[in-house]
Structure 1
Amino acid sequence: MVLLWCSMFPFSLIAQNTSNTINGVVKLDEATAIEFASVALFQDNTSFVKSAITDARGRFSIKNIEPGSYTIRIDHMGYATYISEAFNISASQTVNLPPILLKEENNALDEVVITKKKQMIEVKADKIIFNVASSPSASGTNGLDLLKAAPGVTLDLDNSISLLGKSNVQVYLNGVQSRLSGNDLTTFLQSLTSDTIESIEIISNPGTQYEAEGTGGIINIRLKKAVATGFNGTAASSFTKGEEYRYSNNISLNLGLEKLQTSFDITQSHNNNLVLFDDRKQQNNVALLLDSRDNQIRDGYNVGLALESQLNDKHYVGLNGRAIFNTIDNRLNSFTDIFTVQPPELSEILFSQSLVDGTSTNYLVNGFHLWTLNDDSSITTNLSLGVYDSEQITMQPNTYFEADGSTVIEIDDTQFDSDTQINLWSAKVDYEKNWDNLSLTTGFKYAQVKTQNSFKFFNVSNQIPVFDPTKSNDFDYTENVTAFYTNLNFKLSEKWSLNTGLRIENTDSRGQLFSEVETDNNDVSRNYTDYFPNVSLSYDDQDKHSFSLGIGRRITRPNYQDLNPFESPTSQLVVWKGNPFLNPNYIMNYQVSYAFQQKYILTASYSEITDFFSRIVEITGNESTQIIPRNMEKATTLGLSLSFPVTLTKYWDLQVLGNISRETFKGDVESTVIDIDNTLWNYRIQNNIKINSDLLLDVTLTQRSRWIWRGSVFIQGTQGLSFGIRKDFFDKKLQLRITGSDILRTESEYPYTSDYGGIDLDGIYIADNRRFGLGLTYNFGGPKAESKNIKSGLDEELDRIQN
């Protein structure tokens, strides 16, 4: 119906073309065009109207101009600013300006004057932008910590990301999905440093130009821009200390020639993540009191290489790749006191360990070709390949003691080896066409995923592992996704616009379990087709008022490992088990936004997720439990958010962001009825203080109410106070940063409670969040300019990988 309704409009809109156009070309001399020059159009010498960027031939075109008197301003780093004489344009007129010659200016860098600084947080009708480069407290941290500081973004105790209360968020890098999830996404984000990140874009209701994957929305991390010409680079190092220490070192190099751009970056990082658990669990007639310390240590290298070339004025090609290498050294030590409830007495004590040693590697390659057919249309082709490989050996020594804590009852040591390999490839073609009042984007994508998983279980006797085939198995999974999509953007008038789109996806999958133990679900095949419409209506009077109304449907498919029916023990008493019958979940998003002067933003939203993913704890024995992903019938979120800036003095301003939402979780999960709701609110006050031109300070206060984890566990609310100081030296080439996060240690402890399915649970989770840090960044080389962003074809597939 969406496409049928859309098809009634385009030809009449095209026929109503009464637009005016300004064309021009910018050059250094008769033979040398200037690319990436910024062209700004002003009316009556004062009012900004529109802007454009010159292409590889120095050309620009500004369309849909009202009759009147205008001037053109052109800026490009390394050249003197050009301002034209005033000229008039009348109705239905095309103005072809004579060639504009810019003059080189050797000292242009010294003469640049910043007339308006970029705000740390920009709130727009369709997204929130967190400008990392403007935040001293963000400097020197890694990508995961940056997300914790981003407005509207929260991380749960599993480091799963939520956006405005909605989970299953997709992470993009420069407009391309990160292709990772779970622990590997955590490691990848930790390998990024804030010194390489320009901004974080938070998109709560994406349109069909984005992949349908991700029911919670999109977080797009934009790295700093590459060079257009010349050579430059950045070297950065940072160190933070809490209970444990973390550090990272990064170097980025960029070289831009006339028709070739190349970049290389490498980051070495060490992350020691400390987690303490005090947990009480009662099931049947047994109470378990757990005290554990978990050191999750990861050392890694993240290496990226990119080559891009403008072959001629119609063809732009590129090849980029990334390799991520990690070593894992996890040390979990736990004491569990085991009581009988009636009569209440200590029966035994379990001392257990989970010692994990492993490696993981990721190789990602994307090749693209941009074919510019003419000024109004283009075709983009992508071919992407990815390989993910993980090998882990886990030792789990377990010793049971009498109540005296010294008399040994039983020793039960086990070992298991888990290997995972995932191969992905995809092909994608997009066609774009622009008319005066209509733009069209349509395309096709095919993606294939093949996974091989091996799990070998050993009983350890006298330090000798003995293979147990009855607890060992292999799991293979193949998935093919074929997608077609179309997006139409109508300009109904100067103030109104309509965007409509439809994405159709067919998924064909098969999971096979190979084991000596016969099971009922050892071969599961699926084939289903889904439709994902998206419609949005926008109004902007170009003065004070603007609003938008959007409706969209999205999907989140299960992580590949969640479909694997392995039983993987996390301790002697707790087992993780996959679910091959886990269904994808779907969300309907409804959102209305209003902005006054583009400063005061009010957004109301409602979302409903069917087959919500929840990791449920289930009783499997008198003392034992299993954690298994299951589909919950429905989860809903009704929310309201408000943001506004406040200027206190010339040197002190702040940004206030607040959210309140009502969330519900309902379902009959394996005969256990879950029906819980919660009112969730949070706010963030960001203070930005400019002490002088080289010294900046920001102070951030956050507070969060009680929230729900895994769809069934209540987590007590927290509040936090953080700061950052940045000092510039040597004409801003060297930066020194001092940071502090959760300095009052009020955002490190998370008390929790839960009562469902015969399990009464409460405890406290303690994270290593109070940290103080020091960082240095040195910038060298020539001027920078923006390079092209080409989306990869391996989109959501790699997002679903997790260790």
Structure 2
Amino acid sequence: MKKLFTLILIIVSASGFAQQKDSIVFKKDSIKTQALMEVVVKTTIPLVQVKTDKILLNVEAMPNAAGANALELLRQAPGISIDGQDNIKLSGKSGIQVLLDGRLQTLSSQQITSLLKSTDAANIKTIEVIANPSSKYDAAGNAGIINIIFKKSNQYGTNGSLTYGYQKMEHFRQNSAFNINTKGKNFNAFANGNYDNSLQFTTVSDNRYVGDKTFLQKGIEKQGYKNPGLRAGIDYNLNSKNKIGAILNYNRIWDDFPSDASTTIQNGNSNNQLNTITTANLTENRLGSNLNYQFKDTSGTTLNIDADYLNYKSNLGNLVNNTFSNNATLNIFDNNTKTSINLLSAKADLSLKIFKDGTLESGIKFSSSKTANHLKTTQNDGNQILNQLNDYNYNEKIYAAYSSFNKTYKKWNLQAGLRAEFTNNKGLSTSGQQNQSVLSDSSYLNMFPTLFLRYQANENHSFGFSYTKRLNRPSFQDQNPYVYRTDFYYSEQGNPYLQPAYTQSFGLDFTWKGQTQIKLNYNQTKDLNEEIITQTGDQTLAKWVNAGTRSFVNINVSSPFQINKIWSGYLSVEPYYQFYKADLSKYAGLANINNGGFGFNSYISNNFDLGKNWSGTLSNWFNYASRSSIYKTKAITSVDIAFKKQLTDNKLTLNFAYRDIFNTQRWAQTALIGSINQSSVRKWESSGAYVGISYRFGNQKLKAARSRDLKTDEQERIKSRN
């Protein structure tokens, strides 16, 4: 019975949609007539699968995933775009929430980027893109959710994999990873880890035009990056209905990113040059843990209880040395920042089968976050030394409850839910002994309804409607009013009065054969959180504000395709239009915004079965020129090619790739409004050859007591626990 159950799990997880081809070879045992038979399952995993409320990106089906990190994989996900500063957007919207195995990572956008860069593709099974989350999920994040699901094994015994890769551009990037699983009768234990090491250069060009002055800056940012990471967990079956588990996640980052920049200052007939040399050293430590309990009986009742804790610490040293060429004026900024974040959350989710083909889900959640930020700044202008201190403490508590009802009646499926969240936060910013700014307490209660309706016309055609309401809370760093100097003319400042942004989304879709989908979406965001730039004299200040209202409409068409037996692929195209309306005239140098613009994103992957265990992929992603609030961004694109060779009964895999063949990944942005006139260009090392090797070991086969037909709908009956 144990082996039969295991066979079902493997077959269900391997089976895909109707377009997949499965071949099963049975070899009878020569000793006993009733002996077990060996089952060899060969299946083509679809690159993308479309579900009612999400899209699945199967990493194992991506030959060019070898050696990549999670951030690079997201560039290939439908509807996802990433700009030159690594800001992630879904259908043009920022504020994405990132989950690891269903657990929210409550970090800033920069910390999320660091986490994704340090997450090796070799340890990832699936990426879920959830544009319109149900009431079960936290309401935070007006752009939806990205859920990264890591590899686990359903096979008894021990198995795993070892991976190493090296990519050569102008400099280098190397990655190594391991994954090991042990499954017994009543337990499953796993561990995966990675170590990444890289050296990358980015060329930067920033031009600003202020009155009669022109500031032309060119520089090189250097990044030496080292990152070890470890993730381990265990699940134990107390009995047939009860399971407990624990997960431990540790990640450490050493990031050295010095930069050299030269700014030519033109004022009429006179020129002056500012040379800026910056040294920066960042260390991050992230330790997270999870305890979970699951109850599940034969009637379909499930209860999940999770408790999570995260401790994050970082130390950033930033020394900025400014020297003018005309009179050798020296100005030095020495910034040292220490940050500590402690997050604690607990939640319970209950699911009950009611009526016929009906499910009622309810849950509660409590989360508490405590953040402490200590900044010490020393400014030396050659005549005097000025020391400044800033301490910023931010505490937040969120109480949430939700209920959701799912009912299927004939060809109709209805899912309706409501989530309530009460938020209480308090921030205190203290600068020196005399200057003190206290952020008043903020408390608010919000209701977040969700509605999903689907009509299954027949086996191949279905239609859907969705409505959700969400919010995007500002990160604590964006609320600190302290002015942070990055060079002689440029500063950054938080906004203590920054309010959450609220988004309402409507969607219509048509799905064919569970994979091809056409979606029409409209959403409107009020109190949009955006970073703007203000100009006062020669000084430029970047500041987060509530930048009015943003309306967004898009059409997304995504589909796999099969040209012939050896050529298949996936295509996603997304034209969109967005409109901004905001009163920004109260900010220095800005004017009111009342404009919009079109944009276009696309991704295509061509997969080839070359025979003799060779496969290849030719892919391209393209983000057309777009605009957001005061900024215009130019188009960016990339073409990648990859090959894979399977050896030694598919245990040994060789990967070869050349990324960004034409070296076109270049981010360019302009801002022209009021007295603001500036442009920026960033070019990073994106083009280069990659070679990698991976080896799978342990139990890679499954014994079964009897054969059975593969049914694609069986995959829908077994859900992995997140």
TM-score, shorter chain, exceeding 0.5: yes
For residues 31-50 of structure 1, what are the structure 2 equivalents within 5 Å?
A: 34=5, 37-38=8-9
The correspondence for 1:112, drawn from 40, 43, 46, is 40
Corresponding position: 1:416 with 2:335: yes
SS of the aligned residue for 1:112 comes to strand
Q: How many Å apart are 1:274 and its aligned residue? A: 2.6
Aligned equivalent of 2:554, options 633, 639, 642 = 639
Measure the CA separation in 2 of the matches of 1:479 and 1:529. 14
Q: Show the counterpart of 1:726.
A: 644
Residue among 597, 611, 614 paired with 1:695: 614
Q: CA deviation at 1:188?
A: 1.8
Aligned to 2:514: 598
**Structure 1 SS opposite 2:139:** coil
Q: Does structure 1 residue 578 correspond to structure 2 residue 494? A: yes
Q: Distance in 2 between matches of 1:753 and 1:274?
A: 22
Tell me if the contact between 1:458 and 1:465 (Cα under 8 Å) persists in the aligned partners. Answer: no
Kept in 1, the 8 Å contact 2:483–2:493? The answer is yes
Q: Tell me which residue corresponds to 2:162.
A: 235
Out of 325, 341, 346, the position equivalent to 1:427 is: 346
Identify which of 440, 443, 457 aligns with 1:541.
Answer: 457
SS at 1:391's partner residue?
strand
User: Who is 2:398 aligned against?
Assistant: 481
The 2-side partners of 1:781 and 1:150 are apart by 32
Give the residue type in structure 2 aligned to 1:453.
Answer: N
Kindly indicate whether the alpha-carbon contact (under 8 Å) linking 2:333 and 2:485 is maintained by their aligned counterparts in 1.
no
Contact kept? 1:423, 1:449, Cα under 8 Å: yes
Amino acid at match of 1:150: A
- Residue in 1 aligned with 2:571? 656
**Which residue in the other structure is 1:629 paired with?**
544
Tell me how far 1:336 sits from its aligned partner.
0.5
Residue 707 of structure 2 corresponds to none
**Residue 374 (structure 2) pairs with residue 454 (structure 1):** yes
Cross-structure match for 2:322: 398
State how many pairs are aligned. 692
Question: Cα offset for 1:104?
Answer: 6.4
CA distances 1:227-275 after superposition (whole Å, capped 9, x unpaired): 4421111110111122221111111221112212211222111233432
Deviations 1:370-406 (A, max 9, x none): 123653312221111111101111111110112xxxx
Deviations 1:516-554 (A, max 9, x none): 365684232100001100011101134221011000001
Shift of 1:674: 2.3
Mean Cα deviation higher: 641-650 or 601-610? 641-650
Aligned partners of 1:369, 1:780: CA distance in 2, in Å? 31
Q: Which runs of 5+ in 1 are unaligned?
A: 1-25, 42-47, 50-74, 82-101, 403-407, 792-803
User: Does 2:89 match 1:171?
Assistant: no
Distance in 2 between residues matched to 1:784 and 1:623, nearest whole Å: 68
Q: CA deviation at 1:149?
A: 2.2
Question: Aligned residue for 2:293?
Answer: 369
Query: Would the aligned equivalents of 1:79 and 1:103 in 2 still touch at CA under 8 Å?
Result: no
Two-structure CA RMSD over aligned residues (Å):
2.7
Q: Residues 550-589 of structure 1: matches in 2 within 5 Å?
A: 550-589=466-505
**Contact 1:524–1:580 (8 Å) recurs in 2:** no
CA offsets per residue over residues 298-338 of structure 1, 9 Å max, x none? 21111111121001122200111101111121111110111
Give the aligned partner of residue 583 of structure 2: 668
Bigger Cα Rg: 1
CA distance in 1 between partners of 2:172 and 2:61 (Å): 25
Match of 1:762 among 655, 667, 679: 679
SS in 1 for 2:348: strand
After superposition, the Cα gap between the structure-2 partners of 1:105 and 1:189, relative to the gap in structure 1 and judged at 3 Å, is: farther
Matches within 5 A, 1:133-532: 133-340=60-267, 344-372=268-296, 375-402=299-326, 408-435=327-354, 436-460=356-380, 468=387, 471-491=388-408, 493-516=409-432, 521-532=437-448
Compute the displacement of 1:789 (Å). Answer: 4.9
* 1:354–1:570 contact (8 Å) kept in structure 2: no
**1:127-138 → structure 2 map (5 Å cutoff):** 127-138=54-65
Determine the C-alpha separation between the residues in 1 that align with 2:27 and 2:347. 39
- SS of equivalent to 2:122: helix
Matched residue SS, 1:185: helix
Q: Which residue of 2 aligns with 1:744?
A: 662
Map Cα deviations across residues 194-219 of structure 1 (whole Å, 9 max, x no partner): 22222222221111122211111112
Which shifted more, 732-741 or 273-282? Answer: 273-282
Give, in whole Å, the separation in 2 of the partners of 1:453 and 1:693: 57
Residue 124 of structure 1 contacts residue 601 of structure 1 at CA under 8 Å; is this kept in 2? no
Q: How does 1:41-80 map to 2 (within 5 A)?
A: none
Deviation at 1:739, TM superposition (A): 1.0
Indicate the residue corresponding to 1:55 in structure 2: none
Secondary structure of the residue that 1:335 maps to in structure 2? strand
Tell me, yes or no, if structure 1 residue 615 matches structure 2 residue 534: no
* Aligned amino acid, residue 318 of structure 1: G
CA–CA distance in structure 1, aligned partners of residues 695 and 334 of structure 2: 47
Sequence identity (%):
24
CA contact (8 A) 1:574 1:626 kept: yes
- TM-score, normalised to structure 1, is 0.82
CA contact (8 A) 1:665 1:676 kept: yes
Which moved further from structure 2: 536-545 or 516-525? Answer: 516-525
Distance 2:103 2:493 in 1: 32
Q: Which runs of at least 4 in structure 1 moved beyond 6 Å after TM superposition?
A: 75-81, 784-788
Q: What's the CA shift string for 1:626-681, capped at 9, x where partnerless? A: 11111111111100111233322211123221110001222113343123311001
Change (3 A) 1:632 1:346: same
Task: Report the CA distance shift for 1:443/1:305 in structure 2 as closer, same or farther (over 3 A).
Answer: same
Q: How does the TM-score come out when normalised to structure 2?
A: 0.91
Cα deviation, 1:684-714, whole Å, max 9, x if unaligned, reads 22111100151001101333210235x3211
Q: Does the C-alpha gap of structure 1 residues 118 and 788 become closer, same or farther in structure 2, counting only changes over 3 Å?
A: closer
Aligned-pair distance for 1:764?
Answer: 2.4
Cα distance change of structure 1 residues 790 and 181 upon mapping to structure 2, 3 Å threshold: farther
1:118 partner SS: coil
Distance of 1:271 and 1:566 partners within structure 2: 33
Within 2, Cα distance between the matches of 1:708 and 1:117?
39
Match of 1:95 in 2: none
2 CA distance for matches of 1:228 and 1:181?
A: 37
**Any gaps of 5 or more consecutive residues in structure 2?**
703-714
> What's the secondary structure of 1:37's corresponding residue?
helix
> CA-to-partner distance for each residue in 1:458-494, whole Å, 9 max, x for gaps?
13488x99561xx321011110100010011011x22
Distance (whole Å) between structure 1 residues aligned to residue 697 and residue 520 of structure 2 = 45
SS of the aligned residue for 1:207 comes to coil
* Mapped partners of 1:80, 1:396: distance in 2: 73
Q: Distance in 2 between matches of 1:78 and 1:290?
A: 68
The CA distance in 2 between the partners of 1:311 and 1:124, in whole Å, is: 32
Distance 1:79 1:360 in 2: 53
Task: Tell me if the contact between 2:83 and 2:667 (Cα under 8 Å) persists in the aligned partners.
Answer: no
CA contact (8 A) 1:376 1:434 kept: yes
Query: 1:455 Cα shift?
Result: 0.7
Does the CA contact (< 8 Å) of 1:79 and 1:105 recur in 2?
Answer: no
How far apart, CA to CA, are the structure 1 residues paired with 2:396 and 2:402?
Answer: 20
- Alignment partners' CA distance in 2, 1:632 and 1:517: 33
Report the equivalent of 2:706: none
**755-764 or 136-145, which moves further after superposition?**
755-764
